[in-house]
Structure 1
Amino acid sequence: MTTFVDRVELHVAAGNGGHGCASVHREKFKPLGGPDGGNGGRGGDVTLVVDQAVTTLLEYHHSPHRKATNGQPGAGDNRSGKDGQDLVLYVPDGTVVLDKQGNVLADLVGQGTTFVAGQGGRGGLGNAALSSARRKAPGFALLGEPGEARDIVLELKTVADVALVGYPSAGKSSLISVLSAAKPKIADYPFTTLVPNLGVVTAGSTVYTIADVPGLIPGASQGRGLGLEFLRHVERCSVLVHVLDTATLESDRDPVTDLDIIEEELRQYGGLEDRPRIVVLNKVDIPDGQDLAEMIRPDLEQRGYQVFEVSAVARLGLKELSFALAGIVAEARASKPKEEATRIVIRPKAVDDAGFTVTYDEAEDVYRVRGEKPERWVRQTDFNNDEAVGYLADRLNRLGVEDRLMKAGARAGDGVAIGAEENAVVFDWEPSMMAGAEMLGRRGEDHRLEAPRPAAQRRRDRDAERADPDREFDEFNPF
C-alpha cells in the first residue's frame, strides 16, 4: 500500500457565482413598487495552504477531484444570495504547483503560505443593483460567473538543509538514525529505503534538518531505479553529503567510482553545481573498511573534498561530522538575502489601453474580441432575455467595441466571436446597435413608475438627450 506520495495531478474547480434575481416589489395598493431583486453570492475559492503537520500528498492521490461550493442565487425583497464556502487544501512545506505544461505557478515554502488554485465566480447583480435614475425597472438580472476549473500538478520537494546521497546500502539510513531521532527502515539489502526520511539535528546552537534520499544508481537521472523519482528532494538542500561504503561486498565497486557515478547523475539532473559537497566514508569500524578509507582519503582530499571517516554502528566520528555540517548550514543561511517585507506593486494601465483587443481570425473567418470585461459580460448575460441581450449590446458599444470593429474592417453581417475559441459566443454583427436600441425605447424603463413631468422639464430633458445620447449611463458604473 502506498504511504508516501510526492507528486499528484489535482483537478480543482472553484464554486460558481449565484445568479442575480429579477424581481419587482409588490404590496397592497402598490403593485409596482420598483425592482427589489438581490445579488447572487460569490462562489467559493480553492486555496492551497502550507501546513508543516502534513508530510505527504497521499490524500490527493486517493481523491484528486476537489470542488468548492457554489454561491446561492439572489431573491426578491433585496435578499442577496449566500457566498459559497472556500475549500482549503493543506499541503506539505516545499510543495511546487505546476500547470499541465510544467510551468511553475507557485512555490509554497513556509508555514501558512497560500495560493489560490481556483478563483470562485462572481455573483450576478440583481435588477435592484442594475436600476438607476433612468433605468428604473430592469426586467433582467446578471448571471453568476462560473468558477475557475483547471488541472494542476503538485510536486513535493523536501525542505532540508542537508541531503545524504549515495548507492543503495551505503549506510545513509543508519547515519540519519544516529544523527537525529528519525527511525527509518534499516536492512542489509539494497533499496530498503523507498521514501525520503527527514531528521532534525542539533549541533551546538545550530539546528538543521537532514534528508536521507533513497539510493541512486547509474541512470537515475533518466528514470532508472528510484533516483529520478526522488532527485527533486535534494534541490532545496544547502549541502550534499556523499555517503560512501568502504566495506562493500560487491567486487565490481569501489568508493571512488561510486562517487564519480553519483556526481555524474547529479550533473545530468542539473541545478546542483553550486552546492558544497562533503564525503563521508562509512563503515570504518570494519577492518577492511578502515584500510580502504585510509587508502582513498588522500585522493578525495586532493579533489577538494572535505572527508570524514565515520561508523554509524559504532558511532565513530559523528560529532565532528554534525558540527562540520552545522557550520556549512549556518554559512549558507547567512549568505541568503534577507526576505523583504511584502510590497504592493501598483502598475497603472496605459492611457491608450482599451481593455480589449479585436483581431481577425482568418481560419474561422470571424473577428475575435478578447478582453476581461467583454468576456465577463458575455458570461453574465442571459441570452434567453432580449432585454439582457440588448443591455450587453449597449455595454459593448459604450466600451468602444463597435468602433474598434469598424476600424478593423468589419462589415454588417460579418461574424464576431467574443472569447476564446473553445467557449466563444459568435453572432452576426450589425452596426449601430445603440441606434437600434433607441428605436425600441430605453431598456429597463417603465414609464408607469414615473410621475408626469412638467412640459418645461420634458423640453429640457429632450434637449439634454439630443446633446448627450449616453446620458442614461452617467449614474451607473458598468463595472
Structure 2
Amino acid sequence: MLYDKARIFVQAGGGGNGCMSFRREAHVPKGGPDGGDGGHGGAVVLLCDDSFRDLQSFKRRAHYKAGRGRHGEGNQRHGADGEDLIVRVPPGTQVIDETGTILHDLVVPGTRITIAAGGSGGRGNKKFAGATHQSPTFAERGLDGAESWLDLQLKLLADVGLVGLPNAGKSSMLGRMTRAAPKVANYPFTTLEPILGTLDGDERQLVLADIPGLIEGASDGAGLGHEFLAHVERTRLLVHVLDLAPLDGSDPEENYATIERELAEYDGRLATLPRILALSKADLVSPEEAEVTAQVWRERFAAELPELEEWEEPVEATPVLITSSATGLGLEELKAELFRRVPVLVDAPLPPGLDAGESLEEHRVFRPAAGRRSKDFEVEQVEDGLWRVAGEGVDRLIARHDMENMDALAHVERRLHRMGVIRALEAEGFAPGDDVEIGGVVFELDPS
C-alpha cells in the first residue's frame, strides 16, 4: 500500500559545554585560563530524494535525533561538532507543524531543509579573559537543540490525474498507455491507492496518476476519495474517465456531475483545471452510439464557453475522446492531446516578492545599525519584591551560565546592563535587593 502520511519527532543535538580550565605546567608560574569551547549540536535535515516514492520508512521509525556537540577541554581543545542527521523523503513531501501550518514543500530532488537546528556550544573561560578580568572562573553551557513533532504528508507529483467513478476504466487506461501495472478487476474500488505511470513522448515524459475512484460524498470523507483527493492538487490537467455503458445501469451524465461536484467541493482550484473527457469502454457499445454520445458532450461543452470580447483570447472547449483500453481505440489521440495541453515548465519560479523585470543583484540585505535593536524582552512585577523578565535572548543567557557561580553571576549582570534589562527594570520601579526571575531561575540582582 501507499504510505502518504507519517508523524515524526525530530530532536537536534545539544551544544557541548565550554571548559573552565587553567594551564598548569611545570616551571610556568602564571599559566592563565585555557578552557576550550564546546562543539555545536548536529541539525536534523530533510533531503528530497528522488529514489523514494512514499513514506513507508517512517512507519518503522518515528524518532530522529542528531548527534550532540562534544564538551570543550583544557589546553584550548575545542569540542567536536555533532553530526547532522539526514532524513530522506520523496519528492512531493509537505512538512506540517503541530498547528497545521505548512513549513516546507519539498518538490525538487536534492533540496535540503533544516527542520531542527542544533544547539550552539558554550564558550570556554579562555574567551572571557581580558585586561581587567584575567582569570575568569566560569564557562558557558551548551544550549539544547530544537525539537518538535512534525507531520509529513505526501502529495504525488503527477502532471495528469485520471479521475472518475470506481470501475470507470482508469486503471486499464493507465496500464495500456504507460508501463504501470495496476491491479484490474471487475468490481468497485479495485484501486486502493494512487498509482503512477510514465507516458513517454518523442522529447519529453509525462507522469500520470490513477486516482482511486470517487463517489458521492468523497470530499466529506465517504469511500476512498477523501484520503486521495489531495493527490490531485498538484496535477496540471485532469482526464475525466467516463464509462459509456456502466454495468450498474447508472446514468453517465449523473456520474459525470458527481465527480465534478466532489472535486469542486474539495478544492475550488480543481474546478478551474483544464479537462479532457475520455469516454471509456467504447468496445462495449456500437461505434454509432459512441459517436452520438460524444457529439452530445461536445455540443454541451461548446455551449458552456463564455462570450468573448474582441480583445480576449479564445478558449478551447473541453476535448471529448472515444477510447477503449481493450482495443486501444483513441489512446494515441489521447496521448497526443496530453502532450499538447500540458506545457513544458522552462523557467523555475522566482523568489517571492521578486518581479520578472528585476534582478537579484538589485536587492540588498538590511542590517539594523548598532544600538537601534528593538527590545526583545518583557518586564513585569509578579509580586512585591519579585520581577520577571521574559524573552528569548535573556532566557538563553541564563541557560548558558551557572547562577551559583559568583563570577558567572557578575558576568550575567554586566550582560543584562548592556541589553537594557536593568534600565527597563528601574523604569518600572525595581529597587536594589529585589529578586528577578529569568528563564525559571530566581536570583538577586545588583543594579549598581
User: For residues 386 and 160 of structure 2, what CA distance do their matches in structure 1 show?
Assistant: 58
The TM-score, its normalising length taken from structure 1, stands at 0.82
Taking the TM superposition and a 5 Å limit, the aligned residue runs for 1:145-294 are: 145-251=143-249, 253-270=250-267, 271-287=269-285, 291=289, 294=292
Counterpart in 2 of 1:453?
Answer: none
1:285-314, Cα deviation, whole Å (9 max, x unpaired) = 112697356336413541343111111121
User: For residues 381 and 262 of structure 2, what CA distance do their matches in structure 1 show?
Assistant: 48
Code of the aligned partner of 1:119: A
Code of the aligned partner of 2:334: L
- Paired residues, number: 424
User: For residues 363 and 245 of structure 1, what CA distance do their matches in structure 2 show?
Assistant: 75
Code of the aligned partner of 2:442: F
Taking the TM superposition and a 5 Å limit, the aligned residue runs for 1:447-466 are: none
SS at match of 2:342: helix
* Alpha-carbon contact 1:17-1:71 (below 8 Å) kept: yes
Change over 3 Å in CA distance of 1:242–1:411 after alignment to 2: farther
- 1:276 offset after TM fit, Å? 0.7
Counterpart in 1 of 2:427?
Answer: 407
- 1:152 offset after TM fit, Å? 1.0
1:310-335, Cα deviation, whole Å (9 max, x unpaired) = 1112111011111111111126x369
Q: Please provide the CA RMSD for this pair.
A: 2.6
Counterpart of 1:356 (choices 365, 376, 379) is: 376
User: For residues 245 and 273 of structure 1, what CA distance do their matches in structure 2 show?
Assistant: 21
User: For residues 321 and 202 of structure 1, what CA distance do their matches in structure 2 show?
Assistant: 13
- 1:348 offset after TM fit, Å? 2.2
- 1:128 offset after TM fit, Å? 1.2
Change over 3 Å in CA distance of 1:67–1:180 after alignment to 2: same
User: For residues 361 and 295 of structure 1, what CA distance do their matches in structure 2 show?
Assistant: 79
Counterpart of 1:425 (choices 421, 431, 440) is: 440
- 1:417 offset after TM fit, Å? 4.0
Taking the TM superposition and a 5 Å limit, the aligned residue runs for 1:27-426 are: 27-251=25-249, 253-270=250-267, 271-287=269-285, 291=289, 294-295=292-293, 297-299=295-297, 301-303=299-301, 304-330=317-343, 333=345, 346-349=365-368, 352-360=372-380, 368-411=388-431, 416-418=436-438, 424-426=439-441
Identity %: 39
Moved more, 300-309 or 138-147: 300-309
The TM-score, its normalising length taken from structure 2, stands at 0.87
Change over 3 Å in CA distance of 1:296–1:328 after alignment to 2: closer
User: For residues 4 and 342 of structure 1, what CA distance do their matches in structure 2 show?
Assistant: 41
User: For residues 156 and 213 of structure 1, what CA distance do their matches in structure 2 show?
Assistant: 14
Change over 3 Å in CA distance of 1:315–1:299 after alignment to 2: closer
Structure 1: gaps of 5 or more residues? 419-423, 436-479
Change over 3 Å in CA distance of 1:255–1:290 after alignment to 2: farther
- 1:385 offset after TM fit, Å? 2.4
* Alpha-carbon contact 2:279-2:294 (below 8 Å) kept: no
Code of the aligned partner of 1:117: I
* Alpha-carbon contact 1:8-1:60 (below 8 Å) kept: yes
Change over 3 Å in CA distance of 1:335–1:219 after alignment to 2: farther
SS at match of 1:116: strand
Moved more, 271-280 or 384-393: 384-393
